[in-house]
A and B are shown apart, each in its own frame.
Chain A
């Protein structure tokens, strides 16, 4: 009898966590995506390139400077639960694919905003690397995605409106 109660309580706590993660996590994800879309719309005037070359640099202003940004995001409990099933059957894990892309977009936006705050209108040599902090890929139950962004900000005389995403 006692064992049955313990099992029922355990299962219902597990289900409750999944439902809570589904509801709250979904809300957090949608909010972030909407926020990203809005910021990307506002930052379309910056010239982005991932080449080492400075496109038509404008002299006289402040010299080029390195800008950095980093983002660490995690998938919610519900999506990780689904991913574990996907790992059993194999195939593309869509939730992680979306999450990595989101982290990259966020890092890029931070680089752009960082450069704009300092008065620059162009970025070159944009690098977005994923890193492993604290062995997060091995720790039990924890999995997060860390993206490091590095770029050089400069003044360009040909900065014209263009797509804010490079990937």
Chain B
């Protein structure tokens, strides 16, 4: 990346003005943990508490989906992605889809 892309989940960025809208950019990923993690999670389910394996799965998915979205934004020549949203869907048991989408825009410092 030559320069940092601003990513926010709000409609605007204070101190910046949107000068061009490049369109919607998106990225998704479907990930699963290996069976060992699933077994560990079901054991942990006895005692309760945090299921770290699944938390990690979500974190990784989110990073991957966002990276793909940013790649698209960069190809379009945008320097910011605003109003980013995340959605998930359960594809099959033990795997989840993470979908990230936002609006790619070009922003300029205000004055």
How far apart are B85's CB and chain A's nearest CB, in angstroms?
A: 8
Chain B window 53-96, contacts with chain A (Cβ cutoff 8 Å), 1 for yes, 0 for no: 01101110010000000000000000000001010111011111
Closest-by-CB residue of B relative to A52 is B10
Residues of A contacting B9 with CB < 8 Å?
A: 66, 125, 127, 150-152
B15 and A63: CB pair below 8 A?
A: yes
Residues of A contacting B6 with CB < 8 Å?
A: 63-65
Chain A window 67-108, contacts with chain B (Cβ cutoff 8 Å), 1 for yes, 0 for no: 010111111110100000000000000000001000000100
Majority SS at the chain B contact face: mixed
Q: How far is the CA of A65 from the CA of B4 in the complex (A)?
A: 11
A17 and B13: CB pair below 8 A?
A: no
Residues of A contacting B55 with CB < 8 Å?
A: 70-72
A57 and B15: CB pair below 8 A?
A: yes
Task: Report A97-130 residues with CB < 8 Å from chain B CB.
Answer: 99, 106, 124-125, 127, 129
Task: Report B1-38 residues with CB < 8 Å from chain A CB.
Answer: 6-16, 32
A148 and B88: CB pair below 8 A?
A: yes
How far apart are B83's CB and chain A's nearest CB, in angstroms?
A: 9
Task: Report A117-151 residues with CB < 8 Å from chain B CB.
Answer: 124-125, 127, 129, 131-136, 138-139, 141-144, 146, 148, 150-151
Majority SS at the chain A contact face: mixed
**CB contact under 8 A between A144 and B45, given known A133-B54, A152-B9, A152-B10:** yes
Q: How far is the CA of A152 from the CA of B84 in the complex (A)?
A: 10
- Among A3-11, A25-33, A37-45, A158-166, which stretch is in contact with chain B? A25-33
Residues of B at the A interface (CB closer than 8 Å) are 6-16, 32, 41-42, 44-52, 54-55, 57-59, 62, 84, 86, 88-90, 92-96
Residues of A at the B interface (CB closer than 8 Å) are 17, 20-21, 24-25, 28-29, 32, 52-54, 57, 59, 63-66, 68, 70-77, 79, 99, 106, 124-125, 127, 129, 131-136, 138-139, 141-144, 146, 148, 150-152, 154
Give 10 A-B pairs besides A74-B48, A152-B9 with Cβ atoms closer than 8 angstroms: A54-B10, A70-B59, A124-B10, A125-B8, A125-B9, A133-B57, A134-B54, A134-B95, A142-B45, A144-B45
